[in-house]
A = this chain, B = another copy of it.
């Protein structure tokens, strides 16, 4: 935001405006009027403020007027009324409760899925995750069971009274996935697949939109805006780590995205610590940290026998760990005033 000052102000008056910006939580940067055109207004100064409230700063003495860029994502921007609650088969994401989504990385068999789902449910999860169509870096990695996986997800979830979220990779598969799942996931690799964003925006299931590998918060919110602009505002954002220079972890989980998004969007935000770190011993600490940072939910991988998983087993929790996680999440959630 730019505060254009009144003409003829002395340095002390400018300092007072800068102090006002700082008091409002912003950071001032001096701009100098020059290159005057027609009207001889040279000498007029201005101050750029990073942060601070427009209305408040506009009424500071000495400020002539305030200039601002308009919100580029009007449909998903924060507004009065707070966070939008997104309902997934009755489970509300974005309310007071911290929602747990869990399940295996990929659906492998009915036995594996059912054991994972039971562990998920015992840990407190009401939504079952699991990949039927898997986006893999290599064409030679396991790509999922496809439609058979969707049917298994539905069957097992129904048996346990859970909802289903699963990824959709292509516009041509959206109708099929929406038939079996309660929530459609758009993964990191497809965060800017605009055709897919529009297609999931034209159907009625809620959408779980993961952050792209190196997407800025603005790009991510603009991707959500594609979905919303196509007609579907039931979107949940999922932070899952960004690319980093440090080989110590698979990704760099950006938990600051949680409070920073809170200030920008009315969409709920959940966190995926499994992909976000990719190191087993760090998953539980980061899950608890996400809750403390204010996340509306978690999505974690669990597997009856992580060592035998066909994909990403090294980042899945065993059933016992899953139950322990549920208890710890409730404890931290209570400490920060959530349920």
A interface vs B, CB < 8 Å?
A: 2, 4, 6, 19-27, 29-39, 41-42, 44-46, 48, 50-51, 54-55, 57-61, 63-70, 72-73, 135-140, 143, 169-173, 189-190, 192-196, 212-219, 222, 225-226, 229-230, 242-249, 252-256, 258-260, 262-263, 276-277, 279-282, 285-286, 288-294, 305-309, 313-314, 328, 331-332, 334-336
Contact = CB atoms under 8 A, between A and B. Distances in A.
10 contacts: A2-B31, A22-B306, A31-B67, A35-B58, A41-B64, A171-B171, A190-B192, A248-B260, A255-B289, A256-B277
Contacts of A57: 35
A4 B4 contact: yes
A297 B60 CA distance: 39
B19 A38 contact: no
Contacts of A196: 170, 193
A337 to B, nearest CB: 9
A38 B64 contact: yes
Contacts of A212: 213
Contact of A65 (B44, B225, B285, B313): B44
A298 to B, nearest CB: 12
A246 B216 contact: yes
Contacts of A46: 2, 4, 67
Contact of A55 (B27, B35, B226, B263): B35
A26 B279 CA distance: 9
Q: How many copies does the complex hold?
A: 4
Contacts of A225: 138-140
B285 A30 contact: no
B59 A37 contact: yes
A58 B31 contact: no
A332 B171 contact: no
A52 to B, nearest CB: 9
Nearest to A72: B138
Contacts of A307: 19-25
A48 B229 CA distance: 26
A253 B258 CA distance: 12
Contacts of A254: 244, 246, 252
A235 to B, nearest CB: 13
Contacts of A36: 58, 65-66
